[in-house]
Structure 1
Amino acid sequence: MRTGRPPQSGFRLLPSYASPTLPAAFRRLAWSNLAAQSAEQIALAASPIIAVLAFGADEGEAGLLQVAQTLPFVLFAIPIGLLADRVSRPGLMAGAEALRVVSLVAIIACAAGGWLNLPVLALLGFVGACGTVGYSVAAPALVPALVRPQQLPAANSRIELARTVAFMAGPALGGALVGWAGVSFAFGCAAALSVAAVLLLLGVREPGRPAAVLGRQPLRDIAEGARFVFTHPLLRPIFVTQIVFNTAFFVVLAVFVPYAVRHLGLSAAGIGIVLAAYGAGMIAGALLSPRLVHGLRFGTVLGLGPVAGFAASAVLALTIWLPWPWLAGFGWLLLGIGPIQWTISTTTLRQLVTPADLLGRVSAINITSYGARPLGAAIGAGVGAVAGAETALLLAAFLFLAQAAMVWVSPLVRLKERPAMAA
């Protein structure tokens, strides 16, 4: 049984950053990821806009909708991670994305029949999020099987660049499609993208994995993955930091749409444009990532994202006194630029230090940090309903400050280079 501790002799360092040509199977995965992320972002952007403008949802109700759309990360990440170490990961991802197609088509059918309301929208959002969890858990575990260790930084940058394109285009499309063409057309576009993601996955073949990972006791397998994460000196602070980051981020997300409508005076299309600045920042950050990895210590790159997250939250809080839409957009831009460095670098680090037969479970443990999302959404909903969205934004800024401090007192910022691939 593994202890989860790195070799006592220290980390063996990889060669300097390189960006070799990535295999065709990985490129199909990257395109599938782009389609899946775009579908998710269109639906996530459209749902609260519909809730506020069509059903009159307030801050509390909008926050509860966010809870429903994030709760599956708490409930199902660990079981799906165990499954990802036992079955075909491309097949698991295709099935998960197909589930999201079902939820999107059901929303369209309910809207056409006049049955769509806030509880139905929340329930179907929960179903779609179950598909998101399956895709999100299996994808990072699949990447190291498709590329060489030296290609992991380039591959993760490509995956995150696809996700950032979705974050930039998805909110704008979601807001615009709801405002211009209605509910059914917006969710129809999302469903079409999910179908494309499934079809692209059908051409991805995963190399065979050792049969030794099969036939074990499920609870023992889950405990092995958890023990590896929580005893590892690098993975443990990553996990804790992500819990605080996700809590803070979803405090903001839970209240921002009603806050933007009532305090900033934005329309549905305007909200989409402001939120699209987050995706634009992520694209800029993903494009900068190779230069930063090459020019800075690896630990410094790991520390930049949390600091940028705090700076962004401070700018968003500033709109309480300066209600300028462009200032809110700048806050979302900063929130995209910095944390994407954290995502790319910590994903690469996790893939390098984790043995191949543990990747699914370790990825799932990482995804369970997303369980802080419904907590953050619930906190945002409660604070927004009782004390107003302004108080929720100030609370989020404090939480962003806390997660930045956690990283800078951890061993992460002392890393000079990327560690070598685990045996």
Structure 2
Amino acid sequence: MPPSNLPTAFRRLAWSNLAAQSAEQIGLAAAPIIAVLSLGAGVGETGLLQMAQTLPFLLLSFPAGMLADRTSRRHLMAGAEALRTLSLVAVLALAWTGLLSLPLLALLGFIGATGTVAYTVAAPSLVPALVPGSQLAQANGKIELARAVAFAAGPALAGALIARLGAAPSYGVAAALSIAAVLLLSGIAEPARAPAPPRRLLQDLREGAGFAWQHPLLRPILLTAVFFNLAWFVLQAVYVPYAVHHLRLTADEIGATLATYGVGMVAGALAAPRIAKALPFGTVIAIGPLAGLSAALVMAATLWVPSMGLACLAFFLIGFGPILWVISSTTLRQAVTPDALLGRVSAIITMATAGARPVGAAIGAAIGGGYGAETCLLVAVLGFMVQALVILASPVARLAFLPERAGA
């Protein structure tokens, strides 16, 4: 829960973020479990499902960033969350009537993710408008703690609901949480902004991409995140069928292993303030990529030692370290980016990094369908190795302190 010394408007945003992230995680966890256990999907098909649920990040992040720089971010986020609510209700109705199919599940996942994109892009540009600069790191930590709780509870809840009651209840819970997120946003008093001058898409794209790519601290952040997401979604694309057929896990157990990802995120978010005080700023950032590589190596070990415990450890590590990355790299981005560019730069980084997810899922689908999930795990290890090397070789890892905020 956000502490009382943060503004009321931010606390409402943090609670809305918790509800929205929980709805998203329940839906994301439920979809591949339903696809494999109820619709008979294989490795290739679950990879394509993951691609459909992440493709909007590649296609729509920058348009969402343009809107975030020019319109009410609160209204944009509320409308986006309402769209996700509609997609969840549609899955619920189809599951109840027995009409749900893999193509419909993928289509509605795409629609729901469209709402996720706009919410995700707008939120980081709204936070600096609601809290003073001295509290940015604290506020980002609370936002990520809420996300971590959602990642911990969502998959476990989805797995338990599907195992005991079927597919429909999990989507009903997700829809209710999504509605709550919309209602919480409605109470935020967003500070007024001066109207932005008329711009063109290519000009906006050039400005946002140019700033992110040319900045010596943002470029390695961008590249590291791209390789991380490629590798992570190669792994995620095949994990559920791998867990069913190689690790011999049930729906409950799959949900539990996925939930340890969120447990790791909660542990990392809670430990973040102490770690930030004890270590140089750049070292804190580097922990995430190194933890990702460690997690991939642990998951690869299950090829020779099939173990639910090792799978849980891998997901815990990939939750613990990268949550420190998200908190610290987001704070760095907010500090070095001028206010007028923040929405577009956030969109560029979201588009490039989250846009890598459908590419990673497609690679996982192709390699998994042709060579098996086992090969995908080894490819994921290589991807995690690259992202760790990129950040360790950059000036970011050598930062002692957070740079001064760029402001206007």
Give the TM-score category using the shorter length.
over 0.9
Q: Which residue of 1 aligns with 2:216?
A: 233
Structure 2: tracts of 5 or more residues without a match: none
Name the CA distance, whole Å, in 2 between partners of 1:258 and 1:223: 41
Once the two structures are TM-superposed, the CA of residue 184 in structure 1 deviates from its matched residue by 1.4
1:144 aligns to 2:144 (yes or no): no
Structure 1: tracts of 5 or more residues without a match: 1-18
Find the residue that maps to 2:70 and give its secondary structure.
coil
- Which of residues 181, 188, 194 in structure 2 aligns to 1:210? 194
TM-score (norm 2): 0.98
Find the residue that maps to 1:21 and give its secondary structure.
coil
Q: Which residue of 2 aligns with 1:357?
A: 340
Deviations 1:89-115 (A, max 9, x none): 011000000000010111112122322
Deviations 1:250-294 (A, max 9, x none): 011000000001111111011000111100001111111111111
Once the two structures are TM-superposed, the CA of residue 222 in structure 1 deviates from its matched residue by 2.3
Q: Which residue of 1 aligns with 2:291?
A: 308
User: What amino acid is the match of 2:25?
Assistant: Q
Once the two structures are TM-superposed, the CA of residue 357 in structure 1 deviates from its matched residue by 1.2
Q: Which residue of 2 aligns with 1:343?
A: 326
Once the two structures are TM-superposed, the CA of residue 28 in structure 1 deviates from its matched residue by 0.2
Q: CA RMSD in A?
A: 1.0
1:190 aligns to 2:181 (yes or no): no
Contact 1:247–1:373 at 8 Å: present in 2 too?
yes
Once the two structures are TM-superposed, the CA of residue 86 in structure 1 deviates from its matched residue by 0.5
1:28 aligns to 2:24 (yes or no): no
Q: Which residue of 1 aligns with 2:362?
A: 378
1:89 aligns to 2:112 (yes or no): no
Q: 1:2-401 counterparts in 2 under 5 A? A: 21-211=5-195, 213-368=196-351, 369-401=353-385
User: What amino acid is the match of 1:194?
Assistant: S
When the two structures are aligned, how many residues end up with a matched partner? 404
Return structure 1 stretches of 4+ with deviation > 3 angstroms: none
Contact 1:51–1:57 at 8 Å: present in 2 too?
yes
Name the CA distance, whole Å, in 2 between partners of 1:208 and 1:253: 41
Once the two structures are TM-superposed, the CA of residue 20 in structure 1 deviates from its matched residue by 8.3
TM-score (norm 1): 0.94
Once the two structures are TM-superposed, the CA of residue 210 in structure 1 deviates from its matched residue by 2.5
Once the two structures are TM-superposed, the CA of residue 350 in structure 1 deviates from its matched residue by 0.4
Find the residue that maps to 1:383 and give its secondary structure.
helix
Name the CA distance, whole Å, in 1 between partners of 2:131 and 2:275: 22
User: What amino acid is the match of 1:308?
Assistant: A
Does 236-245 or 103-112 show the bigger shift? 103-112
